[in-house]
């Protein structure tokens, strides 16, 4: 059975589409910034084409990255850090919940209108359904976490502390930079979609350069770029 080619009816080459999506999602660029960078490389496309490409192919690339990483991330069940961040949509406050493992990999993102026990339960069940149950769950002192973990039977694994959850707090920074470049979001659906895509792309290219030698970092970066260029290929 032949594999479906997602680029079949597009005149633009898959290499250019992958490059445009990577530039827009990975770096804090506007659509017009992406258009200008592609133009500097001799690629004449409009910013609306970049928008269409990331909306069409971004989730597809993210899903393929996620499948590959879940298979090889058995250690992600050891320690999770959970945290929520405020995101405004049309002036109304929403909450983006994120689960991060002990190495800084963003495991799951989930958007809700409320910050209560029900929202935490939905988020936890979604994350555990994909990644299994972790041995330790670290959160801040929001009471909703304790109530939700008690209902799921994981309250004995719950840890809190003043600086214990810095891993999750620091993982918000790349998304915050990206949010400012996009001039925020206008719909919950758009926020959920972009947060999931951004998390997968960030995980893929995140090499923890401060923890490895320069030679190893360059090798990991080259491998990540080669894998990206092969996403959704026949």
Q: If you search the block for the tokens 């250690």, which residue do you land on?
A: 75
- Average pLDDT on 145-157 reads 90
Extract the tokens encoding 105.
């990999």
| CB 168 within 8 Å of CB 83 | yes
Cα–Cα nearest to 105, from 77, 86, 146, 129: 77
pLDDT digits (tens, 9 = 90+) for 86-115: 999 988 999 999 999 888 889 999 999 999
Each residue of 78-90: pLDDT tens digit? Answer: 889 999 999 999 8
Q: Which residue has the higher pLDDT, 171 or 39?
A: 39
Instruction: Kindly give the pairing relationship between strand 92-101 and strand 106-112.
Output: antiparallel
Q: What integer pLDDT is reported at residue 183 of this predicted model? A: 78
User: What pairs with residue 84 in β-bridges?
Assistant: 97
Per DSSP bridges, beta strands 79-89 and 136-139 are parallel
The predicted pLDDT at position 8 comes to: 84
Contacts of 188 (CB under 8 A, 6+ apart): 89, 94, 111, 113
So what's the pLDDT on residue 123?
95
| Calpha distance 163→48 (Å, rounded) | 43
Each residue's pLDDT tens digit, 177-216: 988 888 788 899 999 999 999 999 999 998 776 677 888 8
Section 151-175 average pLDDT: 88
Residue range 49-63: mean pLDDT, rounded: 94
For the stretch 64-82, pLDDT in tens is: 998 887 776 655 678 899 9
Q: What is the pTM of this model?
A: 0.87
Computed over every residue of the chain, the mean pLDDT equals 89
Torsional class of 90: left (φ above 0), alpha (ψ -120 to 50), beta (otherwise): left
Q: How far apart are CA 29 and CA 79, in angstroms?
A: 32
Mean pLDDT in residue range 21-31: 93
> How far apart (Å, rounded) are the C-alpha atoms in residues 150 and 202?
32
Q: What's the mean pLDDT in 40-68?
A: 93
* For residue 3, pLDDT beyond 80: no
In the structure encoding, which two tokens stand for residue 1, read together? 């059975």
């Amino acid at each position: 059975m032949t594999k479906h080619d997602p680029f079949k009816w597009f005149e633009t080459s898959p290499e250019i589409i992958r490059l445009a999506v990577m530039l827009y999602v990975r770096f804090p660029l506007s659509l017009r910034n992406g258009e200008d960078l592609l133009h500097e490389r001799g690629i004449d496309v409009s910013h609306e084409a970049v928008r269409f490409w990331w909306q069409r192919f971004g989730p597809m690339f993210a899903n393929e990255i996620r499948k590959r990483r879940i298979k090889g991330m058995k250690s992600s069940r050891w320690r999770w850090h959970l945290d929520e961040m405020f995101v405004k949509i049309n002036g109304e406050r929403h909450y983006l919940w994120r689960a991060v493992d002990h190495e800084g990999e963003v495991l799951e993102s989930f958007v809700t209108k409320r910050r209560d026990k029900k929202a935490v339960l939905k988020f936890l069940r979604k994350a555990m359904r994909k990644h299994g149950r972790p041995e330790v769950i670290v959160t801040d002192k929001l009471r909703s976490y304790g109530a939700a973990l008690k209902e799921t039977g994981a309250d004995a694994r719950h840890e809190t502390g003043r600086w214990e959850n810095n891993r999750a707090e620091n993982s918000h920074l790349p998304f915050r930079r990206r949010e400012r470049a996009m001039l925020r979001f206008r719909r919950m659906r758009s926020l959920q979609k972009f947060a999931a895509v951004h998390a997968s792309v960030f995980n893929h290219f995140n090499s923890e350069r401060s923890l490895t030698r320069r030679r190893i970092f360059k090798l990991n970066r080259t491998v990540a770029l080669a894998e990206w260029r092969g996403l959704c290929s026949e």
